[in-house]
Chains A and B, each alone.
Chain A
């Protein structure tokens, strides 16, 4: 009785899943190459940023083409604090998220009255404009050539010969776990419900006592904080921050990852992150396999990238996570042939009192 209630608590559920995954991934990093570990860190940075955007766009209905800019804020904060001030890593990462959150607050307040295409335009301007600042303030931010970022030295008890990339993979996996647990908690709480209510109908939301503008600003702040943390890890992984790393292309990639992974689901953010790192590489190596000349081959890889995106969107309108869920449901109805046998919509969730919809439920699985 007590233990059942204990396990039902969202925090406990989220933590159990997170801890299991973290342990598994920690073990896996031991057998992977140093380069693979670097890729894990890169994936982690995307996963965190995508999860944040997924909350903003998928759950709160606000689009952002400017998340690359929030990543830049986090990345530059890390570069300035970690490399020049030598502050402890955890503090640097936290402050990177905080500065990005502050940028998100300003943007969110400014965008409170903007909807749809206007919001897209405003955030697009942010994505294009913010990196320009680094050139304005060349002396502190390094201009075009940017700032170097020292890889975080592994904590001393791991020994001097511990692979820094493996350590970085650990740090970033931990960051992903912490972020996703916090987000999963938030999403299953009344705040998550309010986010979705505002997304679906602002008038009804305000009649129920929700301050619509405040709710939207909150979503922006949380989302930007995630992007900032993602940017911080990105900086640690790549070892350099410069404006070329945070162009509009990055912002669009984050949005792509969000949609492909599955809008509004945290598990989808993981798919999105993996895809953003591996898909360009796969398409590149595939097109190189054809042994064509350079120009054709590089265009072919872009083309393949685009084709895969289109196919995924057509095949899984609800994103990869939507596809995973569909497959799970199909398997369940085939092997359990229980009640609710009709394959379509109705079978989904008559359970009633347990976990709600997409977001909350999907959040913890992976």
Chain B
């Protein structure tokens, strides 16, 4: 579904991505791991059009996304959660999720201004689908609360619900388990495994237990280069991966970060 071919990104003298290639298909969870500053978030930024690669291509369903702009992604069926939570503090949980559904909204500016029935119906539908997405993640009971007033673990779920609301085909998760308790992390793992039934998932994560248990394949980045790729077992046994992580304990680093 998504194919990245030899993507290179330079920020001044720093090469954040160095000829990175990878691909992910529906029904699959691709893990992207690597030490801090390895280029994982930058890879997502390239896919989303926030950063233009100096060279290399991004293809979606065989079509090249040459000048993709971030706001066009939702329409292509790509959703992403941000490192941290990236929720809108001034919106309730329900509203946060409803914005995630906005490309399904049909009412135009005029019917919104005049409060026409068309606008109301569209809102009612959006609300119903949003509640459905929230139901799946068990957050309907906080629907009316300001999003950032909630415990961090719940906020993480809200941001996942927002991304899922639009029924994406490709989901990019940037550290969905950071800051979670180990019980919450186990739940997050189950959620991700469930999601991969009907979409492609790319998972950036520092928690090795989680990565090893939910990913079908893993790509390891270090200083912007792919230093290993393969099944969780292959990657785990790869000595260069261990070397890259030296200084960051391989198991469960970043439990605090």
Contact = CB atoms under 8 A, between A and B. Distances in A.
B89 to A, nearest CB: 6
B22 interface: no
B71 A211 contact: yes
Interface stretch (B106-114, B177-185, B205-213, B245-253): B106-114
Contacts of A116: none
A203 B95 CA distance: 17
Interface SS of chain A: helix
Given A189-B123, A200-B88, A351 B144 contact: yes
22 contacts: A11-B120, A186-B112, A189-B115, A189-B119, A190-B126, A191-B112, A193-B91, A200-B90, A203-B50, A203-B82, A203-B86, A204-B88, A207-B74, A207-B86, A209-B74, A349-B144, A352-B143, A353-B127, A354-B144, A356-B91, A357-B91, A357-B95
Contacts, number: 132
A352 B144 contact: yes
B120 to A, nearest CB: 5
A208 B99 contact: yes
A10 interface: yes
A205 interface: yes
B90 A199 contact: yes
Contact of B75 (A206, A209, A350, A351): A209
A353 B115 contact: no
Contact of B144 (A196, A205, A210, A353): A353
Given A193-B95, A209-B74, A353-B94, 13 more contacts: A11-B114, A14-B115, A186-B112, A190-B105, A190-B107, A190-B123, A196-B91, A197-B99, A204-B86, A206-B70, A207-B74, A208-B74, A357-B90
Given A207-B74, A209-B74, A357-B92, A191 B114 contact: no
A185 interface: yes
A345 interface: yes
B68 to A, nearest CB: 11
Contacts of A189: 107, 112-113, 115, 119, 123
B166 to A, nearest CB: 8
Contact of B70 (A197, A207, A357): A207
Contact of A185 (B80, B115, B144, B162): B115
B88 to A, nearest CB: 4
Of A186, A208, A209, most B-chain CB atoms within 10 Å: A208
B224 to A, nearest CB: 22
Contacts of B115: 9-11, 14, 181, 185, 189
A351 B141 CA distance: 9
A193 B86 CA distance: 16
B87 interface: yes
Contact of A200 (B89, B100, B166): B89
A182 interface: yes
